[in-house]
Each structure stands twice: as C-alpha cells, then as structure tokens.
Amino acid sequence: MWGITRTRYADCNGSEASEETGIVLNIGGVKHVLCGDVLNRFPETRLAELWNTSKGCLEDLSSLCDDYDSGKGEFYFDRDPDAFKCIIELYYYGEIHIKRGICPICFVKEMEFWKIDLYFLDDCCKGDLQEAEDELAEIAEKVQTILVDREGDPSARGWQCFQMCLWKLMEKPESSLSARVIAIVSFLFILISSVVMCVGTIPDLQVEDAEGNHMEHPILEAIETVCIGWFTVEYVLRLISSPNKVKFVLSFMNIIDFMAIMPFYVVLTLTSLGTAMMELANVQQAVQALRIMRIARIFKLARHSSGLQTLTSALKSSFSELGMLLMYMGVGVFLFSALAYTLEQSHPETMFTSIPQSFWWAVITMTTVGYGDIYPKTTLGRCNAAVSFLCGVIAIALPIHPIINNFVIFYNKQQVLETAAKHEIELMALRSREAGAEESGPQIQRRSVGVAAGVWDNAMHSCHSDTDIPLLKDPRAGVQTPSLDRSFDS
C-alpha cells in the first residue's frame, strides 16, 4: 500500500493543482484543491458527482454540497475536517484508515455522507469499528435494563406484573429500599452461615453423641438451619419470578446457590432413614463430602460484589493466558521431575522413588513454595533444582502481565459503560422534559402507551446532524421495547 505513488495533491496554499482541472473544497474551514481525474477514480462517490456536475449546470449542486461561492469557486461542506483527511486517502491509496482520536461510529457516518462503501475501509480499522459497535450495543442494553427497572414494561399485566416486581425485589437492590434491605439481609446470612460452618469444626465447641462421636453444637445447627431456610426461600422466589426457568437453573451462580442448600436436605433425608442407613461406611463418606460442599456458599458473595464479578469476567477473558501458564508449568514439571529422579538414583538415601512421586517436588519447587519434605541430595540434583525454580519464576511471570492487563481493561470498560449508560438516561430524561414542556394540557401527566411512545420519539430519534448515534430504536418501527425476558435474565 505504501509503495503506491501519490497523485499530485495540494491544499489551498499549494500551486501544484489548478482550479481549471480540479475543484476547491472548504471542509469545516479547511480548504482543499482536488484534481478531477483523481476524483473520477471512484465515480459513485459524492466528490466525483460534484466534479462532474460542476462542469454542467450549477443549479444541481445544492443537493451535493452545503453552499457554493461562485466568486471564489469554492464548495462548502459543514463536515469534520480531520475525518475528511482520512476520506481523501481513498482517491490516492484505494483504501481508508481511521486516524487515532476519531470515533469509528461517527466516521462511518462520514463515509455514508461522502457515498463511500465500507468495503474500502482497511481491515485493521474494521476491527476497531466492530469493537465500538459492540460497546454501543452493550450501552444500549444497559440503558434498556435501567429503563425497565425504573418504569417497568407497560405491556405487563397480571402475573407478569407480579413476576416483574418480585424479580426486581430479589435481584435488583438498586430498584427500591425494600430490595436493598433484602440484599443486605441475604449478605448477612451468607456471612453468618460461613462463620458457623468454620466455628462448628472447633473441637471445644462440639458435643458427643451417645456413641462418643463428635457432633456440631445444637445452637450452631439451629443457626445453620435458619440460614438454609433463608437460602431456600430466596432460591425458590427467584426461580418463580424468572420467566426463563431453564436459563435460570443452568446459570453458574444459580448452580452455586443450589449446591449451597442441597447438602443440607440430602443429609436430612439420609438421617431420617434411620441409624442403620447412617452406619454404612459409604453413606458416612457421602455425608462428609456433602458437608464439605457447603463451602460453595461463600461464592454467593459474588452476587452482591461487583468486584468479584469483575474478577470472574476478567478470568474468563484470560483463558488463553491461563492455558499458556498451565502448559508452561506442565512441561516444566514433567521435565524437571524426570531429571531429578534420574540424577538422584545414585544416592543411597534418595527421596525420589519414582517420576510421578517427583511431580510434587517439581510443583512446589517451580512455584517457589518449597515445603522441604522432599529435596535433592546430590550436586547435580541441586543444580537441577536451581534451574527448575528459575524457570518456574519465568514461566509464572510471563502470562501474569496479560492477565492483569485484561482485568484492568475489563474494569475500565465496565466503568465507562456504566457512566455512558447513566449519561444516556440523563439525556433521555432531559429530552423528555423538553418535549413535555412543549406540550399543553393535563393529558401528559398520565403515563399511557401513547405518551411512552412520544418519549421514545424525543429520546431516541436521531437529530438533524447525521453524526448523532441513536442507541435505541423506535418501538413502533418494528423493534420491541425492553421485554421481561431480556431484563430478567440472570
């Protein structure tokens, strides 16, 4: 691309192009002189049409430019001059690059104005455009969710209305004071349950049954029962209020909620079957495993912590880096454990009895933990250990920076999206108030479907400037307003 010889081009201060063979453009106060033969390379564009029309009847120019000065021979366009510098690259290089600092969405509007197809946009810039469109879609989705949380769905009736109110009460702490209270109470129950689970393992707080087996204190069991009762009621109410039951049950956080309450009822069922069933060794091991599963309830805190949610999302976006870290560690563990086993065989008191048994030594050495329960005794074995922990430090450090960078990028993106969504809501409210001030009569005080549609018109329709970017579409134009299914998803 960069090897293409640039055609003669001059701005208003140049003398390489004449006004007889080209046209003078005034783009936002910046003058350009473009040659006609250069513009005709792409005859379907606005500039090529302007050049061909200017040689004939000048009365047809009103639809192609904003103004024309016959004395100076200048065509005026009220457009972004910086974006136009990118536009004219098409006529010289055959493709367009978006310069840094120009909004990709607004630049697409510029290309549409100059009648240039997106095909001529370079692939590197198409990626930026797609990213900007995705962010715009996320902002629109957040705006829709906020609108439904504030106003509700006007088409909801009967059970759907009750379902929506119950969902907002259980899932949207910011929607009302009662919902915030329920969220705080749920958070406290999670903390209390976790503390009771830990305290119940202290031997001094345990009691002995008739057979001398240690059991949890009855008071702690009562507290545990109350907490499980709250978790059960909360889960059932959220399941009832969710319109998409299958998606609700298969959601990761809801699976954790189910795992947090399921062991209690399984143990309660096994206990009710009698002591003969509980005396079976397999049943006792299953009960112990189910009791250990209670630790899953600590993950319920992620439902009430935006920081944990951000961390989880950042780790999801870093699967490739985490996989690379595991691959490095796996190769290193296999290599250095095999070398340690081979080098330590000559020592009579070797601690490396097999390669699989040496895996543990390689793991704690490469991660620089070094418990000291197994260590090399030969000189070559110690050299191998030194190289192994140096390689371990490098292997761990290499993917760490991309993972941290992904977390920072995702966190900053979330902050920007939330701020943009709130700004859009404020802008919609301002436009709706301006529209309401222009209306007369008391009928605008009642929120009906017609008034709601008017608010959407004033808030969502694009303005006269074609650089306006509407986030939401008119619901009467075939696009539905935020629905219960979309706003209720977990």
- pLDDT averages per 10-residue partition of the chain, 490 residues: 38 43 85 86 88 72 82 86 88 86 85 88 82 78 68 65 83 81 87 85 79 78 88 90 85 81 79 59 60 66 69 80 88 93 89 90 90 89 92 87 83 78 77 72 44 39 41 43 42
| pLDDT of res. 414 | 77
β-bridge partners, 25: 32, 75
| pLDDT of res. 341 | 92
The answer on 295 and 167 residing in a single domain is: yes
DSSP states of 440-490 as a string?
Answer: -SGGGGS--HHHHHHHHHHHHS--SSTT---SS--GGGT-PPPPHHHHH--
The answer on 397 and 336 residing in a single domain is: yes
In whole angstroms, what is the distance from residue 321 CA to residue 318 CA?
5
Question: CATH code at 354?
Answer: 1.10.287.70
| pLDDT of res. 154 | 58
The answer on 324 and 295 residing in a single domain is: no
| pLDDT of res. 338 | 93
The residue from 410, 425, 440 where one domain ends is 425
In whole angstroms, what is the distance from residue 54 CA to residue 25 CA?
12
Cβ atoms of 129 and 104 within 8 Å: the answer is yes
What distances in angstroms separate CA 149 from CA 165, 175, 176, 392, 416, one per listed residue?
A: 9, 6, 10, 50, 20
Half-sphere exposure of 274 (CA within 13 A, CB side): 2
Query: pTM here?
Result: 0.54
DSSP three-state, residue 149: helix
In whole angstroms, what is the distance from residue 196 CA to residue 203 CA?
13
* Radius of gyration over every alpha carbon of the chain, rounded to an integer in angstroms: 34
Range of the domain at 224: 161-303
Cβ atoms of 91 and 102 within 8 Å: the answer is no
Residue 179 lies in a domain: yes
The answer on 316 and 284 residing in a single domain is: no
| pLDDT of res. 477 | 43
| pLDDT of res. 280 | 53
The answer on 70 and 36 residing in a single domain is: yes
The answer on 296 and 176 residing in a single domain is: yes
Question: CATH code at 227?
Answer: 1.20.120
The answer on 215 and 331 residing in a single domain is: no
Q: What separation, in Å, do the N-terminal and C-terminal C-alpha atoms of the chain show?
A: 48
Question: CATH code at 86?
Answer: 3.30.710.10
Q: Is 170 left (phi over 0), alpha (psi -120 to 50) or beta?
A: alpha
The answer on 191 and 114 residing in a single domain is: no
| pLDDT of res. 148 | 64
DSSP three-state, residue 11: strand
In whole angstroms, what is the distance from residue 172 CA to residue 165 CA?
10
If one counts every other C-beta atom within 10 angstroms of the C-beta of residue 100, the result is 6
The answer on 271 and 180 residing in a single domain is: yes
The residue from 368, 401, 425 where one domain ends is 425
The answer on 298 and 193 residing in a single domain is: yes
Cβ atoms of 68 and 75 within 8 Å: the answer is yes
Residue 366 lies in a domain: yes
Domain count, the chain: 3
In whole angstroms, what is the distance from residue 472 CA to residue 460 CA?
6
Residue 201 tokens, joined = 């393992």
Residue 153 tokens, joined = 């769905």
Cβ atoms of 143 and 471 within 8 Å: the answer is yes
Residue 54 lies in a domain: yes
The answer on 98 and 70 residing in a single domain is: yes
Cβ atoms of 75 and 50 within 8 Å: the answer is yes
In whole angstroms, what is the distance from residue 348 CA to residue 346 CA?
6
Strand 74-77, strand 22-27: pairing = parallel
